[in-house]
Amino acid sequence: MNDKKPYLGEFENMLLLTLLQLGGKSHGSLVRQQLKDLVSRDVSIGALYATLERMENKGFIRSSLGEKTAERGGRAKRYFEVTAKGKETAKQTKKQLETLWQGVQLWSK
C-alpha cells in the first residue's frame, strides 16, 4: 500500500452501499429499514446516526434538512446522500475486497 487512503469500516461500507442503492437523498428510518430488509441487519437508530455522523465528518456523505411532517410529531427530516469522495471510496473498497477474495476457497469440491 502506498499513500494513505480514507478507511471505510465494515458497517460504514454497508451504509454507503445502502445509501447508493436507495439513490438520491434518504433519511435515517428508510436506511434502517432497507438494511434490515436486504441484509437482515437490525441496528438501533442511535447506532445508525452515530455512524452516519462519523461518515459525514470523513466527507463520505452529506446531509440536508427536510420538511417537518405531522406523522413525525412536527419534527424535521434529515436527508443523507453520498458525496463524490464517498463514491470513490466505495469503488476503492470494492476493488480491495475483490483482490482479497481472489484465490480464497471456502467450499470443498
Partner 1 sequence: MEQIKSPTPPTLALRLLNLSIPLHIREHLIGDLVEEFSQVKIPAEGTTKSNLWFWKQTILSSYEYLNKQRGGIMSFVLSIMIFLGLVFIAMLLGGEVSMYLDVPFLFVICVTSLAFGISATSRKTGKFAIKLLISEQDCSDTIAVKQAAHFLRVTGNTALLMGGLIAMIVLTATAQHLFQETMAKALQPGISLFCLAFLYASILKILCYVGEQRVANALITAEIKS
- Which residues of this protein are in contact with partner 1, per CB under 8 A? 27-29, 32-33, 44-47, 49-50, 53, 69, 71-73, 75-78
Cell 469500516 found at: 9
To partner 1, the closest distance from the beta carbon of 39 in angstroms equals 18
Read off the C-alpha cell for 57.
465528518
Nearer Cβ to partner 1 (38/45) = 45
Measured from the CB of residue 23, what is the shortest distance to partner 1 in angstroms? 19
- The runs of H, that is alpha helices, within the chain are 10-22, 28-39, 45-58, 84-101
> 36, 27, 97: which is closest to 68 by C-alpha?
27
Distance CA 15, CA 89 (A): 13
For residue 42, the minimal CB distance to partner 1 (Å) is 10
Rounded to the nearest whole angstrom, what is the least distance from the CB of residue 53 to partner 1 in the complex? Answer: 7
Task: Describe the strand order of the beta sheet including 61-69 as a list of residue ranges.
Answer: 26-27, 75-82, 61-69
Cβ proximity to partner 1, 70 vs 100, nearer residue: 70
Nearer to partner 1, 53 or 94 (CB): 53
